[in-house]
Amino acid sequence: MESEIKEKLNRVGENWAHLILKYKYFNKKLKLTDDLKKSNYLGDILDYFRDTIEIIHAKEKSKSYTDIFAYQISLLQAIYIQQDFIEELLRIFKCNINKGDLKKDDDYSINREVRNELIGHPICTTKDPKEQAKEVICKSCGKNINESPKKTILLSSTLFSSESSSTNIQYLRYHMKKNYQPEVLNYKICEIINRHNDFLNRYLDIILDKLKRIITEFKSNLEGFEKIIKHQNFEAIIKSVDAEFESILYSSYFYDKDSLIEIYRRRSEHERYQNLIDQFLSDLKKEILEKKEYINELVEPKKIYTNMTLSTIEISDNINEDANKTYNYELGKLVERRNKPDFDFYSSFLIPKCSENRLVLDELKHMEANISNKIEYYTALNLIYKELGE
Between CA 57 and CA 64, with CA 59 as vertex, the angle to 5 degrees is 110
pLDDT at position 201 is 95
Secondary structure (DSSP) of 124-136: EEEE-TTSPPEEE
* Helical residues (DSSP H) of 179-233, grouped into ranges: 189-228
The bridge status of strand 182-188 relative to strand 168-175 is: antiparallel
Cα dihedral sign for 32, 35, 40, 41? Answer: negative
Secondary structure of residue 109 in the 3-state scheme: helix
pLDDT at position 310 is 38
d(CA 263, CA 340): 24
pLDDT at position 151 is 75
pLDDT at position 90 is 96
pTM: 0.76
Give the residue from 311, 314, 334, 308 showing the smallest Cα distance to 388.
Answer: 334
* Helical residues (DSSP H) of the chain, grouped into ranges: 2-15, 24-30, 34-38, 41-56, 65-92, 99-103, 106-115, 189-228, 234-244, 257-265, 271-299, 321-324, 328-334, 340-350, 358-369, 374-387
Residue 164 exposure: Cα atoms within 13 Å on the Cβ side:
24
pLDDT at position 149 is 59
Listed as ranges, residues in the chain with pLDDT below 50 are 301, 303-321, 323
d(CA 300, CA 297): 6
Secondary structure of residue 188 in the 3-state scheme: strand
d(CA 131, CA 148): 9
* Residues contacting 348, CB < 8 A, separation 6+: none
pLDDT at position 140 is 61
pLDDT at position 143 is 60
pLDDT at position 308 is 40
